[in-house]
Amino acid sequence: MAIKSILFLTGDYVEDYEIMVPFQALQMVGYQVDVVCPDKKSGETIRTSVHDFEGDQTYSEKRGHNFTLNATFSDVNPDDYTGLLIPGGRAPEYIRLNERVLEIARLFSEADKPIAAICHGLQLLAAAGVLKGKSCTAYPACAPEVNLSGGTYVETPIDGVHVDGNLVSAPAWPAHPQWLAAFLDVLGTKIEL
């Protein structure tokens, strides 16, 4: 593994923008980015979904792209990674039922490594029990889970970000510029213009 590497935990029906944009942006600034899904291997695909805000009471969902995994879940060693990223969509809801997924999240938290989670990604961190005593934001429908897990939900504009120590959270993909910039800052990455 590269010294500067990020692990993505995800699965089918991850939010398209929330996997594609960080995957490309983090590589652009020099990170090795490994994307894994429980029970899948490098070279296999996951399906994405596009969530949009069109004036309804909640987001709409449309079929996105196929995303090719570039690492194998069963090979993951958290010690090999600088940070963890958990995109949203529907994937966090069901991959949090996998005990190894929860264990990986706990190991990153216990090691005080940077963790970036967006939208429904906070569901996974809540299930892992790593939000206790932390403040974060998430898609607003996830607020009860954040609070019930011992965390403190912070209401943030849809394009906002919240940072608590090494935890960088955002409510949805419109926050990408602020969320990714904050994650890079927590990672100690400096970009000079």
Tell me if 193 is assigned to some domain.
no
Q: Is 119 a catalytic residue?
A: yes
- Least Cα distance to 91 among 58, 69, 113 occurs for 69
What pLDDT score does 53 carry? 80
Tell me if 112 is assigned to some domain.
yes
Residue 126 belongs to domain with CATH number: 3.40.50.880
Question: What pLDDT digit, counting tens, does each position of 75-131 carry?
Answer: 999 999 999 999 999 999 999 999 999 999 999 999 999 999 999 999 999 999 999
DSSP-derived pairing of the beta strands 167-170 and 162-164: antiparallel
How would DSSP label each residue in 102-145? HHHHHHHHHTT--EEEETTHHHHHHHHT--TT-EE---GGGHHH
Q: What is the pTM of this model?
A: 0.95
DSSP-derived pairing of the beta strands 14-15 and 32-36: unpaired
Q: Which residue of the set 37, 51, 120, 142 is catalytic?
A: 120
What pLDDT score does 2 carry? 43
What pLDDT score does 193 carry? 81
What pLDDT score does 1 carry? 42
Tell me if 192 is assigned to some domain.
no
Q: Which residue of the set 119, 142, 162, 176 is catalytic?
A: 119
Tell me if 132 is assigned to some domain.
yes
pLDDT-flagged residues of the chain (< 50): 1-2
CA-CA distance, 39 to 178, in Å (whole number)? 32
- Least Cα distance to 10 among 76, 88, 77 occurs for 88
* Domains in the chain, number: 1
What pLDDT score does 120 carry? 97
Tell me if 137 is assigned to some domain.
yes
Tell me if 47 is assigned to some domain.
yes
What pLDDT score does 43 carry? 98
